[in-house]
Amino acid sequence: MRFRPIMMTTLAALFGALPLALGSGGDADLRKPLGVAIAGGLVVSQLLTLFTTPVVYLYLDRLSRASRHIWHTRIRRTHVPG
């Protein structure tokens, strides 16, 4: 659900930085490192986001299930039928 908007935003920024990274002309020597840094940072951050976010969600889901299980077992132990 969120994959498409994230990819569209990253690709728009990446394509915006490509003229800086691939440009030629008088000031290209000064602007090229900036374009390469922007494009490289976008690619690396996108890869980290796509791989680490699902892992974090899986660990949080496991933690939630474990805490729910512990909570329900403690309630059953302390509950005295009436």
User: Model-level pTM?
Assistant: 0.63
Tell me the two tokens of residue 77.
Answer: 């132990």
- The continuous run of DSSP H or E covering 9 comes out as helix 3-22
What's the confidence (pLDDT) of residue 12?
A: 95
Condensed to tens digits (0 to 9), the pLDDT of residues 23-44 reads: 888 888 888 999 999 999 999 9
Report DSSP state, residue 1.
-
d(CA 44, CA 32): 18
Tokens at residue 14, please? 């990446």
Which pLDDT value is given to residue 27?
84
- Cα 76 to chain centroid distance, Å, stands at 39
